[in-house]
Structure 1
Amino acid sequence: MPLLLECARVRGPEYLTQMWHFMCDALIKSIGTEPDSDVLSEIMHSFAKCIELMGDGCLNNEHFEELGGILKGKLEEHFKNQELRQAKRQDEDYDEQVEESLQDEDENDVYILTKVSDILHSVFSSYKEKVLPWFEQLLQLIVQLICPNRPWADRQWGLCIFDDVVEHCSPSSFKYAEYFLRPMVQSLGDTSPEVRQAAAYGVGVMAQYGGESYRPFCTEAIPMLVRVIQVADSRSKENVNATENCISAVGKVMRFRPECVNVNEILPHWLSWLPLNEDKEEAVHTFDFLCDLIESNNPIVLGPDNANLPKIFLIIADGVANESVKSEDACRIRLANVIRQVQAVNESCYQGDDSVLKSLVEIADTAPKYLRPNLEATLQLCLKLCADTNLTNMQRQLALEVIVTLSETAAAMLRKHTAIVAQSVPQMLAMMVDLEDDDEWAMADELEDDDFDSNAVAGESALDRIACGLGGKIILPMIKQHIMQMLQNPDWKYRHAGLMALSAIGEGCHQQMEAILQEIVSFVLLFCSDPHPRVRYAACNAIGQMATDFAPTFQKKFHDKVISALLQTMEDQSNPRVQAHAAAALINFTEDCPKSLLIPYLDSLVQHLHVIMVAKLQELIQKGTKLVLEQVVTSIASVADTAEEKFVPYYDLFMPSLKHIVENAVQKELRLLRGKTIECISLIGLAVGKEKFMPDASAVMQLLLKTQTDFNDLEDDDPQISYMISAWARMCKILGKEFQQYLPVVMGPLMKTASIKPEVALLDTQDMENISEDDGWEFVNLGDQQSFGIKTAGLEEKATACQMLVCYAKELKEGFVEYTEQVVKLMVPLLKFYFHDDILFVEI
């Protein structure tokens, strides 16, 4: 029927009125006579919609008289049916089946009651206070619905009807206040959340529409509303709608009746309760009030020095992400204007405040689509801030982070703004040039972690992520010419940055770079002979990264040129750090190199590696330097691992020196070297096979056993632990059944490592400032200025240990039976270990 009226409207008001008169009498008559409750409810729903559509004047006196009698009859019938059902519950034949039938009847009755409420809602919203005299014939019946002894559904719908009276018929509604006001306020503490929701909505409309007469009741209701909101389970599924109506009601009292409450005291609490996610209608009212407060620069909402802006950003982002505010809502336009206003406040960056930028990053991460209407302005602002060297490094990096985050969370959206992306790429490269001259850099033996706060690291990371986010089709054409110019710059910092940029974009631009790999590799290899050691270091970095990103194509096409260049660079005795990085690049190359390609180079590789190892071992003894030796040992391991049995002729060249290192490198500062050497020995043993390795097996096992005996004395972060666990597994593969005798020694530490429990925490923004990701923590943003943190230190070791247990069981079979029960007890709970995929896969 409502749809037919919508269609009739096209023919003009006269036709629409004729159509309605034809429908109206039939609808009212049907409401009074239809026996089927399902059909009746549909007719009543349709009639209510028609009244809303037609508005004031659609019902004449005869209609009202007939409708009033019918609705009165429906309410009286409702009460009568409830009494009959209650009597049946006292009958001697009453049982569960009877109760089931009675509950069905009760649900039907309540459903009809909701339709009575719908019709009254439409009448009140259309006729306002003019309809109150007509309503009086129903008043006592509605009052009866909200009596404390009535079922919760009666109380809920009775309050809903009085909510409409207040909302649409005030201030005249106050003449009925004696009937509903006290029950409504008291119902804020009702055990039924549906009743609390109706009562809370009523308080909100009292404040918004009721007028001066309702003021004392608004004041009285505030503490009760706050109590409902602050109950521990107020946000549970069954309570959340009532709670959100209470939050909205508090907001309406502050907005429309500020004299009823201490706004300065309540406002900070109200802000902490936002956003509303379930009740979409009340969310719009709440956001409107929030806009009022922000647009008026309310100091309590904005906070000292705009400290609350991050919270406001998150509230808005959350509301949009949950579709609490629709795109067609007028409120959406106001919120967009507020964002612009806050963006203007972003100039606070120039006063050293980066809180707004941090919030913008969070919006880009959690609700990027909300930025769509203002994306151009947002990107331009971030670009401007990123380029401004007067700002702090952190502020510039945060501005860049907004763009980069959008490339990950809203790539399709950002691809429509390629001009700005193209402007951001030089900014990333400029950051990568921000390096300091350090005469001691090339000689450093202790490598500290990269300065994660530095512009160079931030720029490189941003380039890597934006390439992965937007893809090589977009990024490579934007950056290629810039890199070529940087590589020809006389300033070493630009050449270094250009090579590091090539390393960074390889994964994201894989397909596009692979097509021109010949050109890239030829150019990069030239820089292995660059006059500046840090450029040579960057060239090794690029080679190592390409060896990983483009394997095995890279190895197949460029093995001759790459191996030669890396071996030559490894001879750079005067720059140990470059030497070490060349060895690291060689590791990357050999790890993914087909065995057949590596064999022709074995003599040359082994000769170079042995010469360097001997020289660096002497340097370790004389000077205590170890950096190059650590990488060379790993290079030897990688070559042996790939060459397998072809490494047999070189076994005796390396094994004595390697055993010497394990036996004598006992100082704390040599733990990493010792661990890598243990790995190298076990990989060589596995490569050459049991027959060749057996003469040394006993001595090696004794060295390992000595280390294992001291296992409990090792610190938790001792790098030897993971190397030891893997080495035992390889020894198990080499020795087979003969390894069973060592299980009592190795299983204890192995089970201890496999049982590591990660440290987790729920942190707010302030807490996170005291914890760095450099400390082994990783974070997931949960919104509302909270993050879930997990300390990942130890997880890789846990995964390795679990894999080793599988290895022992597989190799030793029945020889492992003694440990199966305790391993099963460890493994089964890990089926729910979601913090590390490798651990989960091992258990499965």
Structure 2
Amino acid sequence: MGAMVWQPQEVGVQQICSLLAEYQKPGTNQGQILSQLEQCKQFPDFNNYLAFIFAQGEALPIEVRQSAGLLLKNNLKDQYASTTEEFRQYIKLAMLHAISSPSKPLRHTVGTNVAVIVGAGGLATWPELLAAFVQCLESSDANALEGALDALFKICEDAPLQLEREIPGVSQRPSDMLIPRLLKLFQSPVQDAKCLAVGIMNQLAGGMPNALAENMDRYLSGLFSLARDQSTAVRKAVCTGLVQMLHLQPERLSPHMHDIIEYMLESTQDGDEGVALESCEFWSAFCDAAVEPGVLRPFLGRLVPVLLKNMVYDEYDEEVQDVEAAEEVAGEDDRDQEIKPFHRKTAGHGEEESDSDGEEINRWNLRKCSAAGLDVLSTVFGEELLPIVTPIVQQRLQEEDWRARESAILALGAISEGCATGLLPFLADMVSMLLPKLADPRPLVRSITCWALSRYGRWIAEHGHEPGSVGQQQLDAVIKGLLMCVLDRNKHVQEAACSALATLEEEAQHALMPRMQAILETLAKACLTYGRKNLRILYDALSTLADAVGPALAEPAYVHIFMPPLIAKWQALLDVDRELLPLLECLTSIAQALGPKFEEFAAPVFERCLRIVTMQLAAKAAVAAGQPSEIEPEREFIICALDLISGMAEGLGASIESLVGASNLREVLLQCCQDPSPDVRQSAFALVGDLSKVCATHLQPIMKELVTLAVANLDLTMIRQENMSACNNACWSLGELAIKVQPEQLQPFAAPIVERLVPVLQAPMGSMPRSIVENTAITLGRVAWICPETIAPHLQHFVGVWCAALRLVRDDVEKEHAFMGLTSMLRINPQGALPSFTSLCEAIVSWRMIRCEGLRNEISQMMQLYKQSLTAIGQWNHVMAALSPAVRDKLTQMCNL
């Protein structure tokens, strides 16, 4: 393996071993020991000591050596880039020395270290590792074989592309050298090796390296040969591989699909849950893949009952135990480990918000996977499933065992999307049947009923709009039942009920009005009793209600119901309490809905938001400068506070002007618009745009800086996925600012803005997300509308790509502004559009209807002038012939040509 040049000092080894050994002892102050080990990092060769203890401490306890290896792994993640080449080589040699250790825990720790080193430095800087892999994969030493495979598996998890990169001095790529050897190991007598080899090949299949593509038949035949292996781990890996191939290359499986379906059906009933779960993923994958669904039809009569059977809670399921135990401790506050990290709602301008289903997936298991499989099967086969599902569901609903009843309700929810048409005649009766289950003695029956009713929320809402109808009575009954569950003593039922209520609110919107007071009174009461976890979901239900009914929420009687408990929570929380974050989000929606009625709360809310942002920015600056800070900076506080100010700007309109004028918001905004975090910039530029709409005069003193920062975010090198929302909002805010300032204020910036926007439109088709292209087209038009004289002389250089982008924009006021900019420039430079006249015509006919009469007349007059001038030189018929018949006919009709 080569000589190890660096040599440890005995005293150093003893000291570190002593600390690691002490750490293992029960009752030890582990925090103090970790602090001492942390201090050791200041020594440049500390990691070498850890590597030596780990790799060569044969006389030491395994636990001490493994602790050294795990500590080394953590250190390398942060320090590998700053480690000297000499020390890197020593650590690498130590890992190669230990890769065939007789101890399985040590071999696994080698694997994690190897993966970290390869991820940080690349496989090309460690050619000895590839040689060791080849040697170990052909070795008769089971320890060496398993150690190499474990390391390879972890590399494929963390940095699979490393196996595709060429290594200087090596004639083949790593994947070319390793894949044939891995395939050979599918028949290894060593079970762990066989399982790892299949797992590695499954991971490599995601990137489909050339060596795998060339050996695809061998890979598939290898999977088929292991389908009946005695090892459940191997069979699980086989199922994973087949599901992956169904996603990647379904045509490869098509000739064998009948046998594969039979095998997966059998495996979905395997006694080992790991095998059953992996194989159950096949049914969703099958429905998503480009495979003829008819091949599965003959199996439905056997498959659906298997899925339904798997959907019944196991007697000892952890979730059952947790939910049942919550019945006994109702009213106790949530433990910290129950509180999940807060996730903001995000939506950049021009982007869609992500949506999520009502049932939170805490632990993915066979039950949930089977329900998901039934769900997607119903979307493919529709009401064909009903004759299979209905008798089983009806039977289970009558059973005494609550688990059977619960699974029947789960099944009804699962088929809601795909089988709704076939269920239509029975939906009213089904909802009536479900309503009493909201009062079932078992909490999981109550919670699943909330979820199932929410799955039919669209139908319930559609039939609840007609006053006095049976549908409205049923909507009323569903809301009443959900509100009862919102106040349930079991926190799991509370969670399901709030989520279901939020879903129904989205669907029903103004049909909720007759029950508004009851909804708000219930949520206000729950606000006083809920634990931290469910308060977040309650805030979401209130936000969704605000979004659904909008200004209708501003009735003084309603405001007096829900605002006092919210303000009480607001006042009880410290500025650094993370439980404040979902409340900030909730108040954002409420401020938008209440509009001017939010004014009585505006001043303290605005001041606190600004205080939070200022405090967080100061903490960030202190940490960046290596100075002490009283708080740990967290960007979510900045983002949520800025978003709430944006919501207030939207709701209060010009009334926010006095708050902005008397504050230091301008200075804070400038800092946030240049923050390294794209999430912070996203919210900051959104606020710039919203303030531009209502009090642009207060932004004029910093206009130059704002424009410079926004333009910087539109550099082509900045427009990447991780920055996209920030780039979109920067672009949108430029347009909002442009139409609110005087032409002489915008004029100095007009040309630089256009110079930055045009390359976005000129980028190859498909290389830019549609959202940024649309926003760019709108902002370019808005700037042109205000300063046409500056931009019109250059029109011919970009009018073609601009018009192509304008075709994508939906009819609204922003599109009107863009076309006003286009027509303003064409008045000045009509010749500039002639080289792209077809694109101009196609952009005009992209309108369904131009509601602005002035713009409609302007476009019509402009096209008539083009007709006159082009007819005079004999070109009109020629340019019209270049248009498609549909475009030509619509253009003629729109512009009276």
Q: 2:428 aligns with which of 495, 498, 518?
A: 518
> 2:276: which partner in 1?
396
Q: Quote the Cα distance in structure 1 between the aligned partners of 2:494 and 2:385.
A: 32
Q: Quote the Cα distance in structure 2 between the aligned partners of 1:512 and 1:497.
A: 20
Displacement after TM superposition at 1:569 (Å): 4.6
> 2:95: which partner in 1?
none
Displacement after TM superposition at 1:402 (Å): 2.6
> 1:440: which partner in 2?
325
Q: 1:452 aligns with which of 344, 356, 363?
A: 363
Q: 1:728 aligns with which of 645, 649, 659?
A: 645
> 2:719: which partner in 1?
832
> 1:677: which partner in 2?
583
Change (3 A) 1:804 1:493: farther
Displacement after TM superposition at 1:689 (Å): 2.8
> 1:428: which partner in 2?
307
Change (3 A) 1:604 1:344: closer
Displacement after TM superposition at 1:370 (Å): 1.1
Alignment pair present for 1:588 and 2:588: no
Q: Quote the Cα distance in structure 2 between the aligned partners of 1:664 and 1:828.
A: 44
Q: Quote the Cα distance in structure 2 between the aligned partners of 1:563 and 1:750.
A: 49
Q: 1:567 aligns with which of 455, 473, 480?
A: 480
Change (3 A) 1:275 1:426: farther
Displacement after TM superposition at 1:397 (Å): 0.7
Could you say what secondary structure the match of 1:506 adopts?
coil
Q: 1:598 aligns with which of 512, 517, 531?
A: 512
5 Å matches for 1:487-498? 487-498=397-408
Could you say what secondary structure the match of 2:227 adopts?
helix
Alignment pair present for 1:816 and 2:702: no
Q: Quote the Cα distance in structure 2 between the aligned partners of 1:359 and 1:501.
A: 28
Alignment pair present for 1:376 and 2:287: no
Paired residues, what number?
525
Alignment pair present for 1:416 and 2:302: no
The answer on whether the counterparts of 1:708 and 1:746 sit within 8 Å (CA) in structure 2 is: no
Q: Quote the Cα distance in structure 1 between the aligned partners of 2:285 and 2:474.
A: 38
> 1:666: which partner in 2?
574
Displacement after TM superposition at 1:398 (Å): 0.7
Displacement after TM superposition at 1:437 (Å): 3.5
Change (3 A) 1:695 1:348: closer
5 Å matches for 1:749-788? 752=672
Q: Quote the Cα distance in structure 2 between the aligned partners of 1:799 and 1:516.
A: 47
The answer on whether the counterparts of 2:461 and 2:475 sit within 8 Å (CA) in structure 1 is: no
Alignment pair present for 1:461 and 2:381: no
Worse overlay, 831-840 or 369-378: 831-840
Q: Quote the Cα distance in structure 2 between the aligned partners of 1:756 and 1:507.
A: 43
> 2:837: which partner in 1?
none
The answer on whether the counterparts of 1:275 and 1:318 sit within 8 Å (CA) in structure 2 is: no
The two structures have a TM-score, normalised by structure 1, of 0.52
Change (3 A) 1:708 1:746: farther
The answer on whether the counterparts of 1:636 and 1:680 sit within 8 Å (CA) in structure 2 is: yes
Displacement after TM superposition at 1:294 (Å): 5.0
Q: Quote the Cα distance in structure 2 between the aligned partners of 1:394 and 1:524.
A: 33
5 Å matches for 1:274-673? 297=187, 304-311=193-200, 337-345=221-229, 347-349=230-232, 354-389=236-271, 391=272, 393-410=273-290, 412-434=291-313, 435=317, 436-438=320-322, 439-442=324-327, 443=330, 445-446=333-334, 447=338, 450-468=361-379, 470-509=380-419, 511-513=421-423, 516-547=426-457, 552=462, 558-571=471-484, 572-595=487-510, 597-610=511-524, 612-613=525-526, 616-617=527-528, 619=529, 625-627=531-533, 629-646=535-552, 647-650=554-557, 651-666=559-574, 671-672=578-579
Change (3 A) 1:708 1:368: same
Q: Unpaired segments of 5 or more residues in structure 1?
A: 1-229, 234-249, 251-263, 277-285, 326-330, 759-794
Change (3 A) 1:799 1:505: farther
Q: Quote the Cα distance in structure 1 between the aligned partners of 2:412 and 2:570.
A: 38
| Residues 495-515 of structure 1 deviation map (CA, whole Å, 9 limit, x = unaligned) | 223323333343444555556
The answer on whether the counterparts of 2:646 and 2:686 sit within 8 Å (CA) in structure 1 is: no
Q: Quote the Cα distance in structure 2 between the aligned partners of 1:316 and 1:379.
A: 21
Displacement after TM superposition at 1:386 (Å): 1.8
| Residues 652-672 of structure 1 deviation map (CA, whole Å, 9 limit, x = unaligned) | 34333322221112397x633
Change (3 A) 1:641 1:342: closer
Displacement after TM superposition at 1:490 (Å): 2.1
The answer on whether the counterparts of 1:590 and 1:638 sit within 8 Å (CA) in structure 2 is: yes
Q: Quote the Cα distance in structure 1 between the aligned partners of 2:186 and 2:600.
A: 85
Change (3 A) 1:311 1:709: closer
Q: Quote the Cα distance in structure 2 between the aligned partners of 1:363 and 1:710.
A: 51
Displacement after TM superposition at 1:308 (Å): 2.2
| Residues 167-218 of structure 1 deviation map (CA, whole Å, 9 limit, x = unaligned) | xxxxxxxxxxxxxxxxxxxxxxxxxxxxxxxxxxxxxxxxxxxxxxxxxxxx
Q: Quote the Cα distance in structure 1 between the aligned partners of 2:497 and 2:303.
A: 32
The answer on whether the counterparts of 2:183 and 2:219 sit within 8 Å (CA) in structure 1 is: no
| Residues 390-417 of structure 1 deviation map (CA, whole Å, 9 limit, x = unaligned) | x1x222111111332222123x334312
The two structures have a TM-score, normalised by structure 2, of 0.49
Q: Quote the Cα distance in structure 1 between the aligned partners of 2:561 and 2:661.
A: 30
Q: Which amino acid aligns with 1:307?
A: L
Q: Unpaired segments of 5 or more residues in structure 2?
A: 1-121, 126-133, 135-144, 157-161, 166-175, 341-360, 620-630, 732-771, 773-897
The answer on whether the counterparts of 2:223 and 2:238 sit within 8 Å (CA) in structure 1 is: no
Q: Quote the Cα distance in structure 2 between the aligned partners of 1:748 and 1:701.
A: 13
Q: Quote the Cα distance in structure 1 between the aligned partners of 2:197 and 2:406.
A: 42
Alignment pair present for 1:686 and 2:596: no
Q: 2:607 aligns with which of 699, 702, 708?
A: 702
Identity %: 19
The answer on whether the counterparts of 1:452 and 1:458 sit within 8 Å (CA) in structure 2 is: no
CA RMSD of aligned residues (A): 5.2
Change (3 A) 1:581 1:471: same
Could you say what secondary structure the match of 2:721 adopts?
coil
Displacement after TM superposition at 1:575 (Å): 2.8
| Residues 224-244 of structure 1 deviation map (CA, whole Å, 9 limit, x = unaligned) | xxxxxx9989xxxxxxxxxxx
